[in-house]
């Protein structure tokens, strides 16, 4: 951790759903990370940075938007290769994020192959590099947090599905809450150190609660009764694939650990349902418009009556009469 004070997570006003999703992912990183959707200025990076303080390493790494694959996974150390003539691995962003938080802002603007690579490593916890004459494997167990503004572009469905949880933030905050947010931000900006000292006890309690939940997570069984409820509800939601069932079950167990329970209850399943289903739920197709059948007595022949003229029948013109064509003035 750095000595630079950061806004404590316990002092963030509102965003309860997002904070809960972050806690669950910190308790069980196998959930697969959190994708946050929402407009700018909603404290997404503040929440992500605050989450890093709850982890053992406290490491917070940001992936630049223009990062290359070499910068992400690591590559050959050119200095060692040129000066000493030996192949040596130079670690990338994934190695630096091990044990902490990897924050990817505007993940929907990253190239698809980098997003796919990120999600692969986040799910496995291991980064394997075989390129440039080197073969190297290292641990990469981090909490992946991605943000996106849907107005700037969407993720492909197959990449969207690979994010464990999905939370959408609304930009419309009630006035009382907005005022409280601004007041706390002003207090932090005026004296960051003093502000962090004031919130240290609540931040410590939050950190201890996360650590206790992580230590008891393995003792909570992934029982068949909870799995049966989840599979039934995933089937009813029409989700594709089986990742939703797995993520939902793991998130429910993490929520039980967060509560301090010894088994998964129905309230745990309900608490994380929208997180797991929001980006996987299949949209219902709108019903096809029903065309009115021609009623008896109406002319169904399109050749007669010059098509659909509504309820007004065509007016008969006198035979032999010459229709006067209006003379429109020419444009100057």
Active site residues: 243
CA 106 to each of CA 146, 154, 219: distance values in angstroms, whole numbers, following the listed order: 7, 10, 37
- Report yes or no: 269 and 283 within 8 Å, Cβ to Cβ: no
Q: Report d(CA 105, CA 36) in Å as an integer.
A: 10
- Report yes or no: 148 and 36 within 8 Å, Cβ to Cβ: yes
Q: Report d(CA 130, CA 123) in Å as an integer.
A: 19
Nearest to 21 by CA among 281, 263, 277: 277
């Amino acid at each position: 951790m750095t000595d630079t004070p950061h806004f404590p997570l316990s002092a963030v006003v509102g965003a309860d759903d997002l904070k809960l999703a972050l806690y669950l992912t910190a308790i069980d990183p196998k959930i697969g990370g959190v994708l946050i959707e929402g407009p700018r200025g909603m404290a997404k990076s503040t929440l992500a940075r605050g989450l890093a303080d709850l982890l053992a390493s406290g490491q917070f790494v940001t992936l630049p938007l223009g990062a290359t694959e070499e910068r992400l996974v690591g590559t050959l150390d050119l200095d060692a290769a040129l000066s000493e003539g030996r192949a040596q691995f130079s670690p990338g962003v994934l190695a630096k994020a091990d044990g902490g938080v990897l924050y990817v802002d505007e993940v929907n603007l990253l190239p698809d192959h980098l997003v796919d690579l990120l999600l692969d490593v986040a799910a496995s916890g291991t980064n394997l590099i075989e390129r440039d004459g080197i073969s190297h494997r290292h641990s990469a167990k981090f909490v992946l947090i991605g943000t996106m503004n849907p107005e700037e572009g969407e993720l492909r469905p197959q990449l969207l599905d690979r994010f464990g949880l999905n939370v959408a933030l609304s930009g419309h905050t009630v006035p009382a809450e907005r005022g409280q947010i601004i007041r706390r931000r002003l207090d932090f900006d005026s004296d960051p150190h003093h502000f962090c000292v004031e919130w240290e006890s609540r931040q410590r309690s939050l950190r201890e609660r996360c650590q206790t939940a992580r230590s008891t997570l393995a003792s909570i069984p992934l029982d068949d009764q909870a799995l049966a409820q989840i599979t039934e509800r995933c089937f009813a939601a029409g989700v594709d694939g089986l990742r939703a069932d797995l993520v939902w079950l793991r998130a429910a167990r993490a929520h039980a650990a967060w509560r301090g329970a010894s088994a998964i209850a129905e309230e745990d399943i309900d608490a994380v349902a929208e997180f797991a289903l929001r980006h996987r739920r299949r949209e219902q197709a709108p019903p096809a418009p029903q065309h009115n059948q021609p009623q008896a007595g109406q002319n169904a022949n399109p050749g007669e009556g010059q098509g659909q003229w509504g309820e007004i029948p065509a007016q008969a013109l006198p035979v032999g009469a010459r229709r006067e064509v209006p003379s429109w003035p020419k444009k100057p």
